[in-house]
Structure 1
């Protein structure tokens, strides 16, 4: 079983803390069994959140797979494409150069 990454630990812990506090405040539970049930439910919810957070390894593997598909297709990668050349407009020339082609 792979180890959880830091993001999974943070999301799971934050879910346990926030859901426990929210359920205790909403329910107003004061007896031991109800508090234990709320804590158990919050722990299960935190585990569910921690396991559903995507891991960094799977996203990196997905990026590599997409890059290999692009390379296999023979198309250049987006960073390898040349930058577009800006079009020159007649209106953008300064007024002093407008008469260079005329005879004096």
Structure 2
């Protein structure tokens, strides 16, 4: 199983937190067993979100890295010239 990326972890964690709060508020559970059941259900829902989230972004970056051209060995490296600013020596006048 591939490792989840940062977006998957963020969405899964947010799902766990928000679903736990929502289920606790809606069910008004006060017993330990009820709260534990809501916690387990929220964790399973967060895991479901992580596993079903698409990972197309990872595939695109690998494809773009492989398609990048490699420079030839005989090409020279060009260095940009220094920028010449308008200083006191370029003024016209007295």
Short-chain TM bin: 0.5 to 0.7
Q: Could you tell me which residue of structure 1 aligns to residue 7 of structure 2? A: 7
Q: Could you tell me which residue of structure 2 aligns to residue 40 of structure 1? A: 40
Quote the RMSD (CA, aligned, Å).
1.9
d(CA) in 1 for partners of 2:2 and 2:21? 30
- If the length of structure 2 is used for normalisation, what is the TM-score? 0.61
Higher relative helix content: 1
Q: Structure 2: any 5+ residue segments left out of the alignment?
A: 64-94
Deviations 1:46-90 (A, max 9, x none): 0001111111223x17xx5xxxxxxxxxxxxxxxxxxxxxxxxxx
Q: Could you tell me which residue of structure 2 aligns to residue 31 of structure 1? A: 31
d(CA) in 1 for partners of 2:8 and 2:53? 6
Tell me the number of residue pairs that the alignment of Structure 1 and Structure 2 aligns.
63
Q: Which has the larger radius of gyration?
A: 1
Deviations 1:5-47 (A, max 9, x none): 0000000000000000000000000000000000000000000
